Amino acid sequence: RCSLSPVPCSLTITSPHDGDRYGIPPGVDPRYATIALRATGVTAGRLRWFVDGHPFAGGRWRLVTGTHEIRATAGGAEARVHITVE
């Protein structure tokens, strides 16, 4: 969903989904416990990702225990989701 706007916008985060819950599998090296960051509807500008307010470069984010906000911006549009990693 787009923040600060009562109408739909062109930018949508398709992975992860708002409210998703993840767990780091036991015995798996944490370097390999990742999720894809994907968005659709980018029509102008460069897609930029932010995790917990910090810029993030790359298409996969390594899972870290806690509650996190993932935000995407492009061409003046913005979308955000919240996830939990247990």
pLDDT tens track for 66-81: 999 999 999 889 999 9
Give the whole-angstrom CA distance, residue 49 versus residue 68. 13
DSSP character at residue 28: S
What pTM was computed for the model?
0.83
User: Hey, is 38 helix, strand or coil?
Assistant: strand
Contact 25/34 with Cβ under 8 angstroms?
Answer: no
Q: Mean pLDDT score of the chain, rounded to an integer? A: 88
In this prediction, residue 42 carries a pLDDT of 72
Q: H or E stretch including 64?
A: none
Among 64, 24, 62, 17, CA closest to 39: 17
Q: What angle do CA 85, 76, 11 make, to 5 degrees?
A: 50
Query: What is the tens place of the pLDDT at every residue in 39-55?
Result: 998 765 689 999 999 99
